[in-house]
Amino acid sequence: MTQDTIIRTQGATKIYNPTLPDEMVALDNVSVTIHQGQATVLKGPSGSGKTSLLSIIGCMSRPTAGKVIVKDRDVAKLPERYLTHIRRKIFGFIFQQFNLIRDISVQENVALPLYPADAGFAEIRKRVHTMLDSFGILSKRKLKVKKLSGGEQQRVAIARALINEPEIIIADEPTAHLDRELAADLLNILAGLVREGKTVIIATHDPLIFEHPFVDSTIAMRNGKIEPQPEEQ
Amino acid sequence: MDGHKFILFFNTTKARLLNVYMGKYKIFITITALQLTLLTAFLLSGYQSAQKARLQQLRDKRQIVRYLGLTDLSIWTEARYTRHPSQSDFFTPFQDFPCSLEHFPAGSIVTPLQPDHEITMEQTPLKGREK
Amino acid sequence: MIRRLKILEHALSSLLRRKYKNLAIIVVYSFTIMLLASILFLTHSLKIEAGNILLDAPELIIQKTMAGRHDLIPVEYADVIRKNWGIGKITPRYWGYYYDAFTHSNFTVLGSDTPLPILKMLEGTAPSRPGECLIGEGVAAVRQIGIGDELILINSEGLGVIFDVVGKFTASSDILTNDLIVLGEADTMDFLGFPPGKATDITVEVLNPKEVQNIAGKIKRDLPDTRPITKQEIIRTYDAVFNWRSGMMLTIFSSALVAFCILAWDKATGISGEEKNEIGILKAIGWDTSDILELKFWEGIVISLTAFLTGLLAAYVHVFYFGATILAPVIKGWSVLFPPFKLIPFVNLYQVFIIGFLTVVPYVASTIIPSWKAAITDPESVMRG
Ligand SMILES: Nc1ncnc2c1ncn2[C@@H]1O[C@H](COP(=O)(O)OP(=O)(O)O)[C@@H](O)[C@H]1O
Ligand SMILES: [Mg+2]
């Protein structure tokens, strides 16, 4: 089994409010490797820098120093427009709080990532329907998001993350607001995505996730640094 | 019963209109296009009737003006200076500049017109020293 | 193109979320634009009309002044005027005002012996015999009389005088004739009590229009107690009058505009945390800064363009179909006789563009600019709730 590297960071450092009194080193010289088609878990206590790492990996922000290589390309210094393009083409995000637009319909929420892309209206409609159908919420497509239950909202959020057929799915504490049952549902969905060949990166401190069998590797973080992993040797 | 049906119909229609999925832009564009068309129609027909009026109405009105020697529009009849602004007095009290508008508060804001012909001091013979 | 439509689609969805608020904004904005456009339509149309019909006003009018006021002019001044070169007909005019105590209105009494040509705007004829009169629509209306009826007026000696109405100007000429009572010249002199040998003023026909200034100057020198008024001055006076009237109304209604701007500014400057978060979400799922700004652009366009077109259409209908009924009380002042506006739709396209520019651009700007900062910041913040 070949394990292609899809994302690599080299000495990535993220400092918030540099040179100000409330300067905060969120990532300190972090070098990690993420393999294609695997489920990688970032674990660590709150404030250890998981979200910061996901955000520079997912091209949501740039590292203060160091390299972030996504598919053989250093994105650390790319201009904003390219980052947006990469986000749109390569990544799907599942946020801790669903980050849906609550007052518009389910189908529009799911369609939003396709608006700036090339797809026409007919194609968008078709893809959104297929996607909603596969999550069993097609019948709710015209409802406003705020009318849905938590579990349904979770599925809308996942549908939106997948609509642009991303290679890499990034999930930040996806089970934090879910009960056991919904969390298990979500993990099944994520496991299914890995089986389809997608790369999944999850940040969490929920043992339910990193003890789950579909997880291929675990990276532990503390105070913005990677902790050495006994089982990786 | 009927009222109930109507409310039902109203609600479903409203829901349909507001929930048109990926078609709201069509409604907006249609409305805007309609408004523009209407406006163009108004302006064009207005232009046409203005042209026609120029030939008919205005010609008639000009005849009236010519035959009766009229100088002003009969819009404001409250005073001489509104009924015949072009014929107003030269030097009525408190109106100390030729051609100024004698209408409160216009007089204090609007610059008076420059009269076309004013006698200058040099042109004015002095009393008892006429040549 | 399709991309623009998609962003427009989301802009509409966004606006529909606060549909009552946005609808209210459109209504208020449309109304403001309607008032502004009505004022400009109305005054522009009147100005053009005045400029057109007064082209046939007398080239030169000579008034006499006395003690700094307008005074009756001796008819023999005509002989002095006639000595100048290039002068055609010289006509003394007899006219004045009549306050009608029955109806509390002012009429203009005008003496004329010239038979009028056949006009669509004239029913009946001009007076051809003593005791006959021709009246304007406004006089007919307040006095509730028509052709064949009698018009009783009180003369300068306090005696009632009966005139037979033989002609009436129709409403379409109201703007010129509304308050007119045309009598024969002799009747006018008698009725208003002109002393013999005096007229109200004298009109002078000038053969070469280029000479008007020159001749006016000469007359002023020959007859120092007179005041010549040229046609050019009359026309310019009307320009000034309508500019002033429109300016006055614009001042009044611009307070409405200012109020609206404050509202728009208030709405726009403080974009809520919710809106910021939404912009972050859109960026996170692959929208570019320019897409976000385009979204805001469309939101502004949808509101302001709709309001602009609605307001303009309403103004057009209001001014040219309903005679500017909303503005009438403001323009009317306190006069009793006031012609209904049957305006010829002279529209200045340049003015329309100016209104459009002044309403759409600031509104769109006030929607885009406050979102600017949120649109250019990294979307990272949405990952941290
Ligand atoms: N915008 C910011 N400004 C200052 N400090 C920040 C900012 N965002 C995060 N931090 C700090 O960076 C550290 C790492 O945060 P984060 O990456 O969110 O950790 P985790 O996701 O593991 O909880 C925390 O101490 C947090 O307070
Ligand atoms: Mg976090």
C239-289 pLDDT, tens digit each = 887 887 777 777 767 766 777 777 666 666 667 788 888 999 999 999 999
For residue C10, pLDDT beyond 60: yes
**A84·C287 Cβ contact <8 A:** yes
Residue C360 clears pLDDT 80, i.e. is over it? yes
3-state helix, strand, coil in chain C (%, to 5): 55, 20, 25
- A108/B21 touch (CB, cutoff 8 Å), yes or no: yes
At residue B54, the pLDDT reads 75
Q: Is residue B103 very low, low, confident or very high in pLDDT (cuts 50, 70, 90)?
A: low
Q: Which whole-number Å values give the CA distances from B106 to A147, C125, C240, C328, in the listed order? A: 61, 39, 10, 19
Q: Which atom belonging to ligand 1 lies closest to the Cα atom of A45?
A: 22
Find chain B residues with C-beta within 8 A of C168's C-beta. none
Q: How far A176 CA sits from the closest chain C CA (Å)?
A: 12
Q: Looking at beta carbons, which residues of chain C come within 8 Å of B74?
A: 108, 136, 138, 174-180, 337, 339
Residues A81-95, mean pLDDT to the nearest whole number: 92
CA distance B74 to chain C (A): 5
Sorting pLDDT into bands at 50, 70 and 90, what band is A233?
very low
In this complex, do C286 and A51 lie within 8 Å of one another by their Cβ atoms? no
With a cut of 80, say whether residue B82 has pLDDT above it: no
Cα(C258)–Cα(C255) distance, rounded to whole angstroms? 5
DSSP structure class, residue B98: T
Does the ipTM surpass 0.90? Answer: yes
For the cut 50, the answer to whether the pLDDT of residue B96 exceeds it is: no
Contacts of B110 in chain C (CB under 8 A): 240, 243-244
**Could you tell me the CA-to-CA distances from C369 to A151, C215, C376 in Å, in that order?**
37, 61, 11
Summarize pLDDT for C208-253 with one digit per residue, the tens: 888 898 899 889 889 988 889 999 888 888 888 788 777 777 776 7
pLDDT, position B125: 65
* pLDDT the model gives residue C324: 85
Looking at CA atoms only, how far is residue A115 from chain B in angstroms? 11
Q: Closest ligand to A174 CA? A: 2
Element (H, E) at A7: strand A5-16
Instruction: Give the number of beta-carbon pairs within 8 Å between A and C.
Output: 89
Atom of ligand 1 nearest to the CA of A49: 17
Question: Distance between CA atoms of C375 and C164, rounded to whole angstroms?
Answer: 79
CA of C46 to the centre of ligand 2 (A): 69
Residues A157-176 have a mean pLDDT of 93
Nearest residue (by CA) to ligand 1, atom 12, is: A26
pLDDT of B44: 92
Mutant choice from C1, C285, C292 vs A, greatest count of A C-beta within 10 A: C285
- 3-class DSSP state of C158: coil
Chain B environment of C59 (Cβ under 8 Å): none
| Residues on chain C touching A60 (C-beta within 8 angstroms) | 284, 378-380, 383
Only one residue has tokens 């409405």, namely C256
Q: Is A202 in the pocket of ligand 1 (CB under 6 A)?
A: no
Residue having the nearest C-alpha atom to atom 7 of ligand 1: A16
* pLDDT at residue B93, rounded to an integer: 43
Nearest partner of C300 among C278, C269, C268, C273, judged by Cα? C268
Look up residue A217 and give its DSSP letter. Answer: E
Question: How confident is the model at residue B130, as a pLDDT?
Answer: 59
Q: Beta strands of A127-184 (E only): which ranges? A: 168-172
Average pLDDT taken over every residue of chain B:
73
> Residue B95: pLDDT above 50?
no
State the pLDDT confidence band at A232, using cuts at 50, 70 and 90.
very low
pLDDT over 80 at A78, yes or no: yes
Chain C nearest CA to A1, separation (Å): 32
Rounded Cα distance between C230 and A220, Å, is 96
With 60 as the cut, is the pLDDT of residue B104 above it?
Answer: no
The whole-number pLDDT of residue C25 equals 86
Residues near C254 by Cβ (< 8 Å), separated by ≥ 6?
Answer: C36
Query: Which of A4, A139, A56, B6 is closest to C383 using CA atoms?
Result: A56
Instruction: Report the distance separating Cα A180 and Cα B49, nearest Å.
Output: 76
- Return the pLDDT at A221: 93
Please tell me the residue having the least CA distance from ligand 1 atom 21: A51
pLDDT score, position A157: 94
Both tokens assigned to C107: 């009429």
Tell whether the model's pLDDT for residue B101 goes beyond 90. no
Which pLDDT does position B15 carry in this prediction? Answer: 60
Position A94 pLDDT exceeds 60: yes
Does C6 contact A51 at a Cβ distance shorter than 8 Å?
no
pLDDT score for C370: 83
Q: Which residue has the higher pLDDT, C159 or A56?
A: A56
A177 band by pLDDT with thresholds 50, 70 and 90: confident
**pTM score of the predicted model:** 0.82
Section C308-329 average pLDDT: 90
What is the residue-averaged pLDDT of chain C? 87
Q: Is the pLDDT of residue A1 over 60?
A: no
Assign A57 a pLDDT band (cuts: 50, 70, 90).
very high
Structure tokens of C237?
């006076």
C-alpha–C-alpha distance, residues C153 and C147, integer Å? 16
A163 or C363, which is more confident? A163
Q: Kindly state if the Cβ of A17 falls inside 6 Å of ligand 1.
A: yes
pLDDT at position A2, please?
Answer: 47
Stronger pLDDT, B86 or C182, i.e. the higher one: C182
Chain B, nearest residue to A105 by Cα: B19
Cβ contact A142–B22 (<8 Å): no
- Average the pLDDT over B13-25 and give the result: 65
Residue C165 CA to residue C181 CA, distance in Å, equals 10
Q: Which of C61, C336, C345 comes nearest B46 by C-beta?
A: C345
What residues of chain A, 36 to 65, have a C-beta less than 8 Å from chain C? 51, 54-55, 60-62
Is a pLDDT exceeding 70 seen at residue C307?
yes
Q: Quick one: pLDDT at residue C267?
A: 64
